[in-house]
Amino acid sequence: MTEGGSFLGGSNPLSDSLALFLLQVVIIICMSRLVAIPLQYLRQPIVIAEVIGGIILGPSVLCRFQSFKDNVFPKSSLPILNIVANFGLVLFLFLVGLELDPTKLISQFKKSAAISLAGIALPFAAGVGVSKILYDRYADPSVKFSSFFVFCGVAMSITAFPVLARILTERKLLRTDVGQATLAAAASDDAMAWCLLALVVALIHNPSNSIIALYVFLTVVAWAIFLWIAIRPILLYLVRRSETKESVSQSAVLATFVLVCISAWFTQAVGVHAIFGAFLVGIITPHEHGFAIKITEKVEDLISILFLPLYFAYSGLNFSIDSLNDGASWGMVFFVIFVACGGKIIGCTTAAKFAGMSWRESITVGFLMNTKGLVELIVLNLGLQAGVINTQIFTIFVIMALVTTFMTVPIVSVIYP
């Protein structure tokens, strides 16, 4: 007999943890797919539907009804949902790392360096400026401003590389100069932003001792160097042992996924976050013989169909539209959107123009680099879990992420049809 007994005997099936979790999975996936139906006609990426679906399931809409909240998303069930969602996130960040081929980044360095630096520097500076206003009005006084302003800078400056890659593919821009420059710049952008975020998380977990935070950050850097120098050659050897280019050995696949878990455990144990370890393994995974592509094909659908909707649903439970309960709060939402868009678009457009692109191409690059999407949600959830931001600031930034991602495809379709 199962934990909660049988409903045929009069027991509540939702008292069984597994039965409740399976019901949550069904509801979350169905909700995200329902929301995706109208959005696909606007050519919006699926991530928009998943985020909105999560918000609908949260306290802003359905969890307003106490019976729904108590029976479908009771507080006791959230730790299980959180663990499964975060495991999926670890695998997803591994895939993000797989998409960043370091050899291609180096070959595109000259063209993308200016765009990438401008895409980080100007929005980061704008984020620091906004952070003072947000900190004074909304932040918990116990949070150190040094951690808060760096976090806001990262949240403003990050580009959603995975979403951007899919937009470029769908718009048939991936092989154009605009697409190549934007993708390389976004990849560099993400790499720098994740490094900054790792430093922020280290500072948050060691607020009273900056030296320990620095040691934590340097330990992660040393781990990354170790993976590249010592582990990557082993993976290369396993891949090259494959008899044909059409297949890769099971031992190579097994070694890669075991390494993902080990690296994720290490960075989590050090005090950063498990996703950083998985991301690093993705970066050092060889692309020879199409190995990275084959690994992606094995797990991408499972992650995008199952794990990411769970993660966004869990995020939606932290999103509360009620926290924006006055005109000043909504004014702050529009101000954050304006500053985030202005910093990113102006910085990247100007840099692209100086790099020799036409104004049309430069403006297209600016709007493409303004895509935030799911990477922004990951950053915001890290900040919320670490206590550096509260629900109100989280909600403001989530709306900003949705707006900046939603506007990308329609505007780029007009500027660069």
**Per-residue pLDDT tens digits for 48-103:** 888 899 899 988 899 989 999 999 999 888 899 999 999 998 998 898 888 777 76
For residues 33-40, give the mean pLDDT. Answer: 92
At 49 the pLDDT is 87
Q: How far apart are alpha carbons 366 and 361 in whole angstroms?
A: 9
In which band, very low, low, confident or very high, does the pLDDT at 339 lie, cut at 50, 70 and 90? Answer: very high
Residue 333 phi, psi (nearest 5): -60, -50
Give residue 212's pLDDT. 75
Taking CA atoms, 45 is separated from 32, 310, 388, in Å, by 12, 17, 29
DSSP code at position 321: G
- Three-class SS state of 103: helix
Residue 282 has pLDDT above 50, yes or no: yes
For residue 375, pLDDT over 50 is answered with: yes
CB 228 within 8 A of CB 221: no
What's the mean pLDDT in 256-267? Answer: 94
Instruction: Measure the CA–CA gap between 302 and 278, rounded to whole angstroms.
Output: 17
Q: What is the mean pLDDT of residues 235-244?
A: 75
Highest mean pLDDT among 143-147, 237-241, 342-346, 407-411: 342-346
Is the pLDDT reported for residue 107 higher than 90? Answer: no
Predicted confidence (pLDDT) at residue 390 exceeds the cutoff of 70: yes
Q: Please provide the average confidence, as pLDDT, over all residues in the chain.
A: 85
Record: fold of 90-307+322-415: Na+/H+ antiporter like fold (1.20.1530)
Give residue 110's pLDDT band: very low, low, confident or very high (50, 70, 90).
Answer: low
Higher pLDDT, 71 or 106: 71
Report the pLDDT value the prediction gives residue 395, as an integer from 0 to 100: 93
The percent of residues in the chain predicted with pLDDT above 70, rounded, is 91
Better-predicted residue by pLDDT, 394 or 208? 394
b/e code 59-94 from CB counts within 10 Å (16+ = b): bbebbeeeeebeebbeeebeeebeebbbbbbbbbbb
When computed from its CA atoms, the radius of gyration of the chain, rounded to whole angstroms, is 22
Q: What is the pLDDT at residue 27?
A: 95
For the cut 70, the answer to whether the pLDDT of residue 25 exceeds it is yes
Domain ranges in the chain are 90-307+322-415
Share of the chain above pLDDT 90, in %: 32
Q: Which two tokens stand for residue 233?
A: 């050659």
- 183-234 residue pLDDT tens: 888 877 777 777 777 777 777 766 666 677 778 788 888 999 999 999 999 8
**121: which residues sit within 8 A by CB, 6+ positions away?**
157, 347
The reported pLDDT for the residue numbered 1 is: 44
For the cut 90, the answer to whether the pLDDT of residue 357 exceeds it is no
User: Could you tell me which of 146, 273, 152 has the C-alpha nearest to residue 207?
Assistant: 146
Tokens of 261: 């878990």
What are the DSSP calls for 235-248, one per residue? HHHHHHTSSSTT--
Give residue 56's pLDDT.
93
243 in Cβ contact with 295 (< 8 Å): no
Q: Averaging pLDDT over each range in 171-180, 241-250, 257-266, 353-362, which range is the top one? A: 257-266
pLDDT band at 324 (very low <50, low <70, confident <90, very high): confident
- Tell me which amino acid residue 287 is: H
Structure tokens at 230: 């010592």
Alpha helices (H) in 303-326, listed in sequence order? 308-316
Of 19-23, 223-227, 309-313, 400-404, the one with minimum mean pLDDT is 309-313
Q: Averaged over 260-281, what is the pLDDT?
A: 90
Structural contact between residues 131 and 148, judged by C-beta atoms closer than 8 angstroms = yes
DSSP 273: -
Question: Over 80: is that where the pLDDT of 150 sits?
Answer: yes
Q: What span, in angstroms and rounded, lies between the C-alpha atoms of 280 and 411?
A: 33
